[in-house]
Structure 1
């Protein structure tokens, strides 16, 4: 092989490394965009607690964020193993931040889902609790 071939290989590797970084960055951007907006989980037009919880549960959908994160991690891992990145600390930190945020959204969604199931039961229990109205009527007649 000639020296020129090695030079071309280095150039191709450099291009591939740049493209790989761009792929990671694009996947990270798509993942952030797929997460719910802060206002979507904060504001509600619902008339009762169950409506608020149902709306919140819908808003806490991470969408395709997990898939985009997986793509980013895949390309990042490949690039890191190939030693293709000059400095990957920023990508690694952003991947960790995104992963933490997705986990927080998922955990919140589970908690809201639990409350959504619990609140109607609690309401029913509170409505059934206390003195029975029929007993009160019987006592009044005596």
Structure 2
């Protein structure tokens, strides 16, 4: 095969196009992996703990993180190779998904804290009320 058929500029252009396509694909996959707004707003559960556990499940971000990491990896390679003519759109989308991901992680942490605290609070309240009921029974017995 003749080397004249493989022009470096042409190969670089093809590689740049493929890298951009990879970044775009991973960003689309990250976007698709984000929870739907209804998943964090509409909840069906019998109690508070069920609501919190459902919300925590809806806020799962592992798949988003994986796709965003791959998008950033390919974006960084393309940027360092100066392969993109204009990558502002990619950079903006990466930042937007990162912002939402940060918010999801913060909310997920808060929901996890609440999911841990609510059963404990419930137990303390039941205990206090049980002690109060026992005190009322004791007073009735004395009369």
What TM-score comes out, normalization by structure 2 length?
0.90
Q: How many residues end up aligned between the 2 structures?
A: 139
**1:1-142 residue pairs with structure 2 within 5 A?**
5=4, 8-130=7-129, 132-141=132-141, 142=143
Q: Gaps spanning 5+ residues in structure 1: where?
A: none
Deviation at 1:138, TM superposition (A): 2.2
Name whichever of 94-103 and 129-138 sits farther off.
129-138
Q: Gaps spanning 5+ residues in structure 2: where?
A: none
RMSD, aligned α-carbons: 1.8
Deviation at 1:135, TM superposition (A): 2.1
Which stretches of structure 1, 4 residues or longer, exceed 4 Å deviation after superposition?
A: 4-7
